[in-house]
Chains A and B, each alone.
Chain A
């Protein structure tokens, strides 16, 4: 720090032996005694600028903190605004960190009034992009808070990295040195202490570096700084998990039997209609075979397959044959959405899950219980006969938690259900007996989400304690703890090959974890608000995140790069995302009481790049009046919240409104039908 505040009252008490004032006197006496008059005179001149405590006396008004930082910041801004256009984008990026550091300095040194004024004067300039950080930092109101607040600590303990071309950098430093008197010195100090300026080769250009230039900028590990992973992202194997060789054989046999039985049927009926294609052929299409991109089967130990697994696989093949094809592009066939509206919930329903075969649904409630319904309205028969007395009910309540239930998840074979709750535990329930089987304890804070792995057996939880954990259903302790997020882990989901896990967090990022090593292998940062929901595409190549900022981002997993941002969901939370089986259509549901359908590949330059026509109007009578005016938003450009009204990006294929029912869950079945769950919340009359 260049200056110390002059607010400490100088102690007028008699100087003690060690005080610098006294020391000076002793030295001067000594010098005059010895006759070093010129040296003595020099010392007198030099020591005149320090006060009794040896601190420099502030002689100029501009050194007072109230003025100093404001002046320096204004100085910098004025210069940037007047500089050439080609330098502006790079220099502009300095303003935010300088602003934050000045503010933190002032707080740290107790100039609270000055800090607040400074903050108030300039916050509007940064709100658009950094609103979330600013909101948190604005709460600091005492020097001790800086030590305590994790975000402030991040800024203080790390250097802020900025990349800029050499010419620009030299220009800046030159300017600051020249104008050291007018505030440049303050700027230089802060640049030296807090910044890590990296030179980029080449000259500045008008091309906005915002997108790729920002990579590796900011605070390490904090969103807006993501170089720690993006630069040297480890390779990931995104191929499908190969099936067990023996199992493939048995499934094929089973399918051949099924085929011949079907042929038998058609012949005896004399219908003459051959089955569209034999099941065995279909199986060839979706058989999960080892490819060079596949994770090793041995690396994910799964229990040996059973007869049930083979039946499950046969069912899957049949469903694949009946699947509705959903194409991308403008002439797309859009999915059908079956909406399940829950009534009388009184806002107590927190989460919904549907089983993969669309037989069961489960809801977690504020009143600490989970309720299971059969979607077809058939009674839920327990294998314990006494449980079915007097009649088997159509819905069952699973009681065991001692706090609100925030997440439920069916196992792929829907024999089990997991639920996680505020009481820090996860519970496993049997869907044969409708009773609790296991309690998994390990987390230290409320759990926000739970997800069964794509092959069952394993599951993952997300918690308020900033970690996600991997469990196997036969162990009551976690197998892996994924730590790295800086705030709550909101949502967890699996990569379809079961080798990776995705998490979305309140720290505005999403991460991809290797379940074998437990390391974070990808960091997806770009949201400006907490990530509320995530989804991975069935082909394992794309990843979608949605945040409190009501944006949906599509990411390329292998490259770890954002492909595009999709906008349309008002300004409310998005609760759920789901990819179609082909992976080209994304469906989202949110608090704005709509289900929206998005073209994943539109505008990403992949495959459908030759049909860039706006599609929102393609669905007659569905698009609201505002949509045909959809504003084209270049792929990959940073989307700031401009303007007041939200205009949907042209990749929105359709929007379907519900009646006063926020949509909690959307889920594609294997037949490509969307199941959506919502709770009807009638509003209270006002008079």
Chain B
């Protein structure tokens, strides 16, 4: 009848020396205990409310007891959450108890003082100016706001999971999961995999971890955590080529896993990959292995677009825009340009090369020429960029190959053709294309002239 079990009362009475307690008495006492507990809770809730908290703490209980004129319970502080232990007395009969650790006085006294907590400070910003919320970092973005308005927030202290912080790229916000319970096993797995991947010395373990990610089913719960891990590591380890490589490997493995439903998380994946593609300085700038990373990232981006470009209409344009912006920005280092060009080529394929790269090449040449002619350390970089342009241009050729064969005989003389080409894409690129000796490509480039919206020069 009452929630409080009268057996508990009997146990307590035995502990204070009353051996045989009448059943009726125990029952009545149990009911009264329940009422008193409610009473304490009612008062404690008031203290919680006035403390503007949404979680009841032990201090609230002790204040409530004080108000009710009851001796408070000693030994509970609210500095850390209470830890409950579980013991079982029989099948499906768990008993919960508060872990009561022993404190060694000697140690306690000699322990160094804890760090002084940081001082309470305040910052000011405009939440709204004449009713309009300015888009500044202090205010949540529109997407966040939309998400906030959707679910009724459970309060300040509700544990929010990582899944709650990612938004679908279609703008339809994911409902924040109130609580994301990840089983112990999965947590362990997550930790193991992360440490294995970050382990530079152990190749076999690393590849085993990646292959597990690639094939194992049932990892879906961990997906947001892995993606967050990637995002964190990428932002923290921009100078560490190994970390970046590993993160791209990890992303790739996740994308490959057929049992994972990656689509809602595309928006979270993209920033990390873009960073590896068009980041300003990746790894050690004196070496050239960041180009391989950029190539890798470019192919990943291409994969993303292929898989999710259909379902999300804005994904491809957004990525293209980001790459194009970096390509056309002369203040960016050449490495970024390299990434942007390869990225564009792999995102948009032939069409992107024709419409976005080709018309801008002549302009771009003006920028890159000084680097090529002077014998500076940047020369290698510039050459890499030219290679990237050439690779991108090669895409134009593929389909037209067939026609080229029999059109070869007629048409313009070589010199004329070369001139036309130079007019179109500038001398440097012409040089490179000419050197390759691919007539078909030349033809393709020249043909590409017609049509296609041209980007303003």
Contacts and interface: CB of A to CB of B under 8 A. Distances in A.
A, B: real partners: yes
Interface of A: 112-113, 116, 136, 139-142, 144-145, 324, 332-347, 349-351, 361, 363, 365-366, 371, 373, 375, 403-404, 406, 422, 445-446, 448, 464, 488, 490, 506, 530, 532, 548, 570-573, 575, 591-595, 597, 619, 621-622, 624-627, 645-646, 653-660, 662, 664, 674, 676-677, 679, 681, 683-687
B448 interface: no
Contacts of A548: 49
Nearest to A345: B120
B149 A627 contact: yes
Contact of A343 (B47, B120, B154): B120
A619 B131 contact: yes
A445 B1 CA distance: 35
Contact of B152 (A142, A571, A654, A685): A571
B374 interface: no
B133 A659 contact: no
Interface residues of B, number: 64
A592 B152 contact: yes
Nearest to B186: A687
Interface in B74-124: 117-124
Contacts of B308: none
B52 A624 contact: no
B157 A657 contact: no
Contacts of A674: 128
Given A340-B124, A593-B153, A626-B149, A683 B129 contact: no
A588 B237 CA distance: 43
A659 B123 contact: no
A626 B173 CA distance: 12
A337 to B, nearest CB: 4
A372 B1 CA distance: 53
Interface class of chain B by DSSP: mixed
A317 to B, nearest CB: 24
Nearest to B180: A686
Given A333-B131, A619-B131, A622-B133, A351 B139 contact: no
**Most B C-beta atoms less than 10 A away, residue of A347, A404, A662, A686:** A686
A624 B54 contact: no
A662 B28 contact: no
A334 B120 contact: no
Interface stretch (B29-37, B279-287, B347-355): B29-37
Given A116-B1, A622-B132, A662-B52, 9 more contacts: A141-B32, A335-B128, A343-B123, A344-B117, A406-B51, A593-B156, A624-B149, A654-B128, A656-B127
B2 interface: yes
B350 to A, nearest CB: 38
B122 A361 contact: yes
Interface in B201-223: none
Contacts of A624: 145-146, 148-150
By Cβ-Cβ distance, the 9 closest A-B pairs, closest first, are A334-B131, A624-B149, A570-B152, A339-B127, A141-B31, A337-B127, A139-B38, A337-B128, A344-B118
A139 to B, nearest CB: 4
Contacts of B118: 343-344
B83 to A, nearest CB: 15
B156 A591 contact: yes
Contact of A366 (B39, B51, B146): B51
A355 B21 CA distance: 62
A590 to B, nearest CB: 10
B124 A141 contact: no
A341 B122 contact: yes
Contacts of A446: 47, 63, 67
A346 B42 CA distance: 24
Contact of B52 (A336, A351, A488, A530): A351
13 contacts: A113-B1, A139-B35, A145-B35, A324-B130, A339-B125, A340-B123, A375-B124, A592-B155, A621-B132, A653-B131, A657-B139, A686-B162, A687-B182
A681 B148 contact: no
Contacts of A343: 118, 120-123
**Most B C-beta atoms less than 10 A away, residue of A335, A619, A654, A662:** A662
A573 B52 CA distance: 9
A448 to B, nearest CB: 6
B157 A683 contact: yes
Contact of A338 (B46, B126, B160): B126
Given A141-B2, A343-B120, A660-B156, A595 B161 contact: no
Contact of A646 (B152, B182, B187): B152
Contacts of A349: 52, 120
B128 A656 contact: yes
Interface string B59-77: 1000100010000000000
Interface string B1-43: 1100000000000000000000000001001101100110010
B365 interface: no
Contact of B159 (A573, A664, A683): A683
A685 B131 contact: no
Nearest to B32: A142
A586 to B, nearest CB: 14
**Most A C-beta atoms less than 10 A away, residue of B39, B49, B67, B122:** B122
Contacts of B117: 344, 346
Contacts of B161: 686
A655 B149 contact: yes
A663 to B, nearest CB: 9
A79 to B, nearest CB: 31
Interface class of chain A by DSSP: loop
Nearest to A676: B127
Contacts of A365: 120
Nearest to B57: A347
B138 A684 contact: no
A594 B148 contact: yes
B130 A334 contact: yes
Contact of B132 (A375, A595, A619): A619
B452 interface: no
Contacts of B159: 683-684, 686
Contacts of B130: 324, 333-336
A656 B133 contact: yes
B128 A645 contact: no
A350 B50 contact: yes
B142 interface: yes
Nearest to B59: A366
A338 B124 contact: yes
Contacts of A403: 63
Contacts of A530: 49
A658 B140 contact: yes
Contacts of A375: 124
B272 to A, nearest CB: 18
Nearest to A569: B152
B268 to A, nearest CB: 15
B295 interface: no
A550 B187 CA distance: 38
Contacts of A679: 52, 156
Contacts of A627: 149
Given A375-B124, A572-B155, A591-B156, A350 B52 contact: yes
B50 A448 contact: yes
Nearest to A681: B156
B138 A339 contact: yes
A347 B53 contact: yes
B153 A488 contact: no
Contacts of A338: 124-127
Given A363-B120, A687-B182, A659 B140 contact: yes
B139 A340 contact: no
Contacts of B390: none
Contacts of B427: none
A622 B139 CA distance: 12
Contacts of A625: 146, 149-150
B63 A422 contact: yes
Contacts of B146: 624-625
B339 to A, nearest CB: 31
A488 B140 CA distance: 37
